[in-house]
């Protein structure tokens, strides 16, 4: 889950890291109200992309009317494919310096690294490319976390103004703490602003939380917004189904994440394009299968479904009955191929055949059959 800038800043502020005064607005009127009493403000579009400044989605305003005018222009507009639904109105900063501070999961190094640079404001990739010596990296022991002296050394190496040294070190410690506490994959403050008065302020914020860890953070629910998540994936979560929407036209259902991935691979290897990943887990009962099939078919791209169930605990006749019942109840129009292996597979296949569904004997056989059926229909 990616947080918006204003949400990231909320977490920063709660952790004691200074952020500019301000509020989020959904309408130009709200923007004007938020700007009231703040003097000069900055109007910032809340979208999940960077480079807003250059694109004209960060604007200074001298009074509430101007703030409303900027908000009116930004709200509903598109930036790199994202529609702006909210703007953040903040007291403008007296910027003396812009630093960069971040923590990111380094997948190659299998560890979290803290990054700091006195060259902030621009893309950190650009700093890394043009002035690599200006980007200081700290890879602390993940279990112990960065020791204060390590953070001090990092900030010292970067060469910050001694007046803000302690505040920057403390900001770095906070970033690490937040990263750990929320199971983040990225926390970034760019720029970390040093004001004319020598304060250290988080002027921007990026925060990404590992989706697999979200169940451990019910306190982040408040940041979830309608329309944030794919509607089908949200529905799947409600139904306790493990579903990821993809771009193809062949719906996939399997029991077990490994088998689901393998089924996608087999379909792809035979020239088909999976429309989703869906794992109905262990004992796929009829009601679960029906619910899963219903979900898959809500994706209007789906032109056919391949169900791959490996039995054991899962009974083939149960699965077959679930599919048949589901197909009947849902009024399914698209071809469905089912491969079942394991307990009572013969009984299962008989039930399928009776209902005019297509049984397959192996994953490869199933993939070939569903692809052939789609071609037939397409022709
Ligand atoms: P980004 O372009 O999407 O990364 O948005 P930022 O929040 O980083 O803003 C881009 C730039 O706007 C900053 O690097 C500043 O140089 C500039 N800026 C000018 N005045 C202000 C201000 O009062 N607040 C903030 N946040 N940025 C300002
Ligand atoms: Mn930025």
| Whether the CB of 22 sits within 6 Å of ligand 1 | no
The question of whether 208 is a catalytic residue gets the answer: no
Quick one: which ligand is closest to 42's CA? 1
pLDDT at 105 over 60: yes
Domain coordinates of the chain in residue numbers? 21-91, 95-223, 231-376
As a whole number, the mean pLDDT across the chain is 93
- Counting atoms of ligand 1 from 1, which one is nearest the CA of 51? 2
| Whether the CB of 202 sits within 6 Å of ligand 1 | no
Q: What distances in angstroms separate CA 87 from CA 25, 72, 128, one per listed residue?
A: 5, 10, 30
- Counting atoms of ligand 1 from 1, which one is nearest the CA of 53? 2
Q: Which two tokens stand for residue 296?
A: 């898959």
Cα separation, 118 vs 121, in Å, equals: 9
- Ligand 2 center from residue 116 Cα (angstroms): 14
CATH of domain 21-91: 3.30.1490.20
Q: Which two tokens stand for residue 64?
A: 């509430």
The question of whether 188 is a catalytic residue gets the answer: yes
| Whether the CB of 93 sits within 6 Å of ligand 1 | yes
- Ligand 1 center from residue 191 Cα (angstroms): 7
Q: What DSSP assignment string belongs to 332-360?
A: --S-EEEEEESTTHHHHHHHHHHTT-EEE
Residue 314: strand, helix, or coil = coil
CATH of domain 231-376: 3.40.50.261
* High-pLDDT (> 90) share of the chain, %: 74
Q: What is the pLDDT of residues 164-211, one digit of tens each?
A: 999 999 999 999 999 999 999 999 999 999 999 999 999 999 999 998
**253: how many CB neighbours lie within 10 A of its CB?**
29
Let me know if domain 95-223 sits in CATH 3.30.470.20.
yes
Q: What backbone torsions phi and psi does residue 24 show, to the nearest 5 degrees?
A: -90, 145
- Ligand 2 center from residue 124 Cα (angstroms): 10
- Ligand 2 center from residue 191 Cα (angstroms): 6
The pTM score is 0.72
């Amino acid at each position: 889950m990616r947080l918006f800038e204003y949400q990231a800043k909320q977490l920063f502020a709660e952790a004691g890291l200074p952020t500019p005064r301000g509020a989020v607005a959904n309408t130009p009127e709200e923007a004007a109200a938020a700007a009231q009493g703040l003097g000069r403000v900055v109007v910032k579009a809340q979208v999940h992309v960077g480079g807003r400044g250059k694109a004209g989605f960060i604007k200074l305003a001298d009074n509430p009317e101007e703030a409303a005018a900027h908000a009116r222009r930004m709200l509903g507009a598109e930036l790199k494919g994202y529609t702006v639904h909210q703007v953040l109105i903040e007291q403008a900063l007296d910027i003396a310096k812009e630093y960069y501070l971040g923590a990111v999961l380094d997948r190659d190094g299998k560890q979290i690294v803290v990054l700091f640079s006195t060259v902030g404001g621009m893309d950190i990739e650009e700093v890394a490319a043009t002035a690599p010596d200006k980007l200081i990296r700290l890879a602390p022991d993940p279990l112990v976390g960065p020791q204060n002296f390590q953070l001090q050394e990092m900030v010292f190496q970067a060469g910050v103004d001694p007046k803000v040294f302690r505040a920057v070190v403390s900001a770095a410690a906070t970033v690490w703490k937040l990263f750990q506490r929320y199971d983040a994959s990225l926390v970034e403050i760019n720029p970390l602003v040093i004001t004319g008065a020598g304060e250290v302020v988080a002027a921007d914020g990026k925060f990404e939380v590992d989706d697999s860890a979200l169940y451990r953070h019910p306190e982040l629910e408040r940041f979830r917004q309608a329309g944030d998540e794919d509607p089908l994936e949200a529905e799947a979560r409600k139904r306790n189904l493990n579903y990821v929407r993809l771009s193809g036209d062949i719906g996939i259902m399997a029991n077990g994440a490994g088998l689901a991935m393998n089924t996608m691979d087999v379909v792809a290897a035979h020239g088909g394009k999976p429309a989703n990943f869906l794992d109905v887990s262990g004992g796929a009962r009829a009601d679960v299968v029906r619910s899963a099939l219903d979900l898959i078919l809500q994706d209007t791209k789906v032109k056919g479904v391949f169900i791959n169930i490996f039995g054991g605990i899962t009974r083939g006749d149960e699965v077959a009955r679930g599919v048949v019942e589901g197909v009947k109840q849902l009024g399914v129009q698209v071809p469905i191929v089912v491969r079942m292996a394991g307990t009572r597979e013969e009984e299962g296949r008989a039930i399928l055949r009776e209902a005019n569904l297509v049984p397959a004997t192996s994953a490869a056989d199933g993939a070939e059959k569903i692809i052939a059926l789609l071609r037939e229909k397409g022709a």
